């Protein structure tokens, strides 16, 4: 029996993210340290084989970050000075940076309602030199099977997911993944480029390292370490289970938030199969900053998942602008317990209820 005179312990704060790992990751990292391979070694080579297999392509080349994977993909595709690279109007600033690092111009194009994915048809009409497309939060981005304009598929939010038997990562000429700590597959810092094109893979492999080449300002140090690769290999082995757990939690949010649906918010897109990297709700009534603050006051760390990096004079992208203003990412990760999720749901509904 609870003692009524003792105040109930306030519920623990629910973090926006929490890493998923076990003794396997710790042991693999320690083994890498003891092996004497502290830079790029056999574990990076093994990770490259595993990523290529998972994406259903011939080649994977590991690099130091997702941004490096984007930048080196663009360089390998011949993107350079005076070129234009389409990026989704609502996207991580890494994409625009990758274009700028190649002396190209990032061209934001609006995203589609509900999926927040690039409108690729519209992007193609602009005849850019390349297109960077993201499977935003895990919703599968429609990319042309064949197009004169190369499309780089950014799989950071949907890697390991298959649509109609076709793995995410092998749908365009080249794809990339970020292996940053908080992504679907994490290892600290890292990334990879995946492709069936041996020449492209060769260029990325050559340019991830500056050694033994004339200085050209293009070859930086974008190598991945074996310690990171050891962790990523463990995470990749866990990926199917982690994706399953994320999907179960997303379905639970759907059920419980749909039941109480009001005009105050809109739930993520449920049309079609997708991966669940983030559960992003549109705070239509409150707006994102206000909802995040109200949730924080109730012990729940939610986040505005993407920061607006666009210049005020960039072409208008009304849907992207609304996404920046209203999207709030609720905690969604494999170690989120049902009890924690219930706390999020109660806090969320409470925030929306007090609107009336």
Ligand X SMILES: *Cc1c(COP(=O)(O)O)cnc(C)c1O
The residues that touch ligand X, with contacts defined as CB under 6 A, are 65-67, 92, 94, 134, 154, 156-157, 178, 180, 191
Q: In sequence order, what are the residues at sequence separation of 6 or more whose Cβ sits closer than 8 angstroms to the Cβ of residue 29?
A: 227, 230, 231
Residue with Cβ nearer ligand X (91 or 341): 91
Residue with Cβ nearer ligand X (30 or 142): 142
Residue with Cβ nearer ligand X (43 or 278): 278
Task: Give the number of other CB atoms < 10 A from CB of residue 31.
Answer: 14
Helix axes 23-35, 226-259, angle to 10 degrees: 160
- In the complex, the smallest distance separating the C-beta of residue 278 from ligand X, rounded to whole angstroms, is 9
- Strand arrangement of the beta sheet that strand 84-88 belongs to: 59-63, 191-195, 174-178, 151-154, 130-134, 84-88, 105-109
Residue with Cβ nearer ligand X (191 or 264): 191
d(CA 310, CA 287): 19
Q: Which residue is nearest to ligand X (CB)?
A: 66
Residue with Cβ nearer ligand X (143 or 178): 178
Tokens 């170690």, located at residue: 335
- In the complex, the smallest distance separating the C-beta of residue 101 from ligand X, rounded to whole angstroms, is 12
Alpha-helical runs (H) found in 86-183: 93-101, 120-125
Classify residue 155 as exposed, middle or buried by CB count within 10 Å of its CB (0-12, 13-18, 19+): buried
Residue with Cβ nearer ligand X (182 or 339): 182
Element spanning 130, H or E = strand 130-134
- In the complex, the smallest distance separating the C-beta of residue 71 from ligand X, rounded to whole angstroms, is 9
DSSP 30-61: HHHHHHT--SS-HHHHHHHHHHHHHHT-SEEE
Tokens 């300002």, located at residue: 217
Residue with Cβ nearer ligand X (193 or 345): 193
Q: Tokens in use for 329?
A: 């990412």
- In the complex, the smallest distance separating the C-beta of residue 17 from ligand X, rounded to whole angstroms, is 12
List C-alpha distances in Å: 351 to 232, 252, 324.
38, 19, 20
- In the complex, the smallest distance separating the C-beta of residue 345 from ligand X, rounded to whole angstroms, is 25
Residue with Cβ nearer ligand X (69 or 286): 69
- In the complex, the smallest distance separating the C-beta of residue 169 from ligand X, rounded to whole angstroms, is 13
Tokens 């340290």, located at residue: 33
- In the complex, the smallest distance separating the C-beta of residue 214 from ligand X, rounded to whole angstroms, is 27
- In the complex, the smallest distance separating the C-beta of residue 61 from ligand X, rounded to whole angstroms, is 15
Residue with Cβ nearer ligand X (180 or 245): 180
* Cα atoms found within 13 Å of the Cα of residue 188, Cβ hemisphere only: 14
- In the complex, the smallest distance separating the C-beta of residue 156 from ligand X, rounded to whole angstroms, is 4
d(CA 180, CA 64): 9
């Amino acid at each position: 029996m609870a003692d009524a005179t003792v105040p109930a312990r306030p519920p623990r704060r629910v973090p926006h993210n929490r890493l998923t790992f076990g003794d396997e990751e710790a042991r693999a990292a320690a083994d890498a340290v003891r092996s004497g391979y502290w830079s790029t070694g056999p574990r990076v080579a093994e990770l490259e084989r595993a990523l290529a297999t998972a994406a259903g392509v011939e080649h994977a080349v590991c690099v130091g970050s997702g941004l490096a994977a984007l930048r080196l993909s663009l360089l390998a595709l011949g993107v350079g000075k005076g070129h234009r690279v389409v990026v989704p109007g609502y996207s991580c600033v890494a994409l625009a940076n990758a274009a700028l690092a190649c002396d190209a111009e990032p061209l934001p194009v609006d995203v589609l309602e509900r999926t927040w994915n690039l409108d690729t048809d519209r992007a193609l009409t602009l005849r850019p030199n390349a297109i960077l497309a993201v499977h935003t939060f895990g919703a599968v981005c429609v990319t042309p099977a064949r197009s004169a304009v190369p499309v780089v598929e950014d799989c950071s939010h949907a890697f390991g997911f298959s649509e109609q038997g076709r793995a995410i990562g092998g749908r365009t000429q080249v794809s990339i993944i970020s292996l940053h700590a908080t992504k679907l597959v994490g290892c600290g810092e890292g990334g990879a480029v995946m492709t069936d094109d041996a020449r492209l893979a060769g260029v990325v492999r050559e340019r991830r390292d500056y050694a033994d080449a004339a200085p050209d300002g293009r070859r930086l140090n974008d190598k991945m370490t074996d310690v990171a690769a050891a962790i990523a290999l463990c995470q990749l082995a866990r990926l199917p289970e982690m994706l399953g757990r994320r999907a179960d939690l997303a379905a639970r949010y759907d059920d419980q938030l749909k039941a109480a649906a009001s005009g105050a918010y809109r739930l993520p897109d449920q049309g079609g199969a997708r991966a669940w990297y983030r559960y992003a709700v549109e705070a239509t009534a409150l707006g994102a900053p206000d909802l995040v603050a109200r949730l924080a006051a109730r012990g729940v760390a939610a986040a505005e998942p993407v920061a607006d990096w666009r210049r005020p004079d960039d072409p208008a992208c009304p849907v992207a602008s609304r996404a920046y203003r209203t999207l709030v990412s609720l905690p969604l990760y494999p170690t989120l317990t049902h009890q924690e999720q219930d706390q999020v749901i109660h806090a969320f509904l409470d925030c929306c209820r007090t609107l009336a």
